[in-house]
Chain A
Amino acid sequence: QKEVEQNSGPLSVPEGAIASLNCTYSDRGSQSFFWYRQYSGKSPELIMSIYSNGDKEDGRFTAQLNKASQYVSLLIRDSQPSDSATYLCAVKGTGNQFYFGTGTSLTVIP
C-alpha cells in the first residue's frame, strides 16, 4: 500500500464548476497535509496546508481534512482554465518524512 494515494485522473470539469480532488494516506499519526499545484513543465508550488480536522478556506480553494478516515481533499470553486494542472497531495508522516501522491491531472474546460 502506498503512503499517499490519489486518483490520477484525468479529471475534467467545466469552467465555473467545483473541482474536487481527493487523497488518502496510510500513516494514521500524520499531522501535516499539503496540496501543491504543478503546471506542465514547471515545479510544484504550494497551494494550501492543513493541520486540523475540518475545512480551511483560502480564496477559491478549500482543503478538507478528516483524520479519522485518513482522508484529505481539495475543492476548487468557480474553476478556471488556468486551474488546469496536476495537483499533488503531500503528507508529513510520523517519521518526519514527506510522502507525495502521484498527482491528479485536472482539466478545466472553457
Chain B
Amino acid sequence: GAVVSQHPSRVICKSGTSVKIECRSLDFQATTMFWYRQFPKQSLMLMATSNEGSKATYEQGVEKDKFLINHASLTLSTLTVTSAHPEDSSFYICSARGGMETQYFGPGTRLLVL
C-alpha cells in the first residue's frame, strides 16, 4: 500500500506556543489530504479536508484560525496548531488520497501541551 509519513511523531510544548505537524505522501501524489484528531478511547474526528492548492474545508466546530492547514504541494500538507492549550493535547492523524479511492493514514503525531 501507499506510504504516508508524519513528523514529528511526538511533541511536547508549552501552552501558548505553536506547533507544526507535517504530513507527506512518499510514493504517490496526494490530491486530497485529511486531518483527524483522536482523543483517548474515542473515535476519529475529521477536522478538515485539504485539496492541493486550495483552501482547506473545515468541519463544523473546528476553528480554522487555530488549526492552520496548508497543502502547498501534491506530497505535503501541514497542520499548525496555533497558541496551543492543554485541551489541544491529542493524537493528530493525517491521511492522503491520490487518484485511487483509498485513504492511507500516516502514523500519527501525539501532541502534549503543558
B108-A92 in contact (CB<8A): no
- Shortest distance in angstroms between A94's beta carbon and chain B's nearest beta carbon? 13
Cα of A99 to Cα of B101 in the assembled complex, Å: 13
Asked if B105 and A45 sit within 8 Å, CB to CB, the answer is: yes
User: Residues of A within 8 Å of B, CB-based: how many?
Assistant: 20
Least CB separation from A98: chain B residue: B103
Q: Within the assembled complex, what's the spacing in Å between the Cα atoms of A81 and B34?
A: 31
Residues on the B chain within 8 Å of A32, using CB = 101
Q: Is B18 part of the binding interface, using a Cβ–Cβ cutoff of 8 Å?
A: no
Neighbouring A residues of B103 by C-beta, 8 Å: 34, 46, 90, 98
* From A43, A90, A98, A103, contact of B93 by CB (8 A): A43
Find the A residue at minimum CB distance from B107. Answer: A43
| Chain B residues, CB < 8 A from A98 | 34, 46, 103
- Are B104 and A46 interface neighbours, CB within 8 A? yes
Task: Say whether, besides A43-B93, A100-B44, A49 and B105 are in contact (CB < 8 Å).
Answer: no
Q: Which residues of B lie under 8 Å from residue A41 when comparing CB positions?
A: 91
> Would you give the shortest CB distance from A10 to chain B, in whole angstroms?
11
Show 20 residue pairs from A and B whose CB-CB distance is below 8 angstroms, ordered by the A residue. Answer: A34-B102, A34-B103, A43-B105, A43-B106, A43-B107, A43-B108, A44-B105, A46-B1, A46-B104, A46-B105, A49-B102, A88-B43, A92-B101, A97-B49, A98-B34, A100-B43, A101-B43, A102-B43, A103-B43, A103-B44
Interface residues of A (CB under 8 A from B): 32, 34, 36, 41-46, 49, 51, 88, 90, 92, 97-98, 100-103
Question: Which A-B residue pairs are the 5 nearest by beta carbons?
Answer: A102-B43, A43-B108, A43-B105, A32-B101, A43-B93
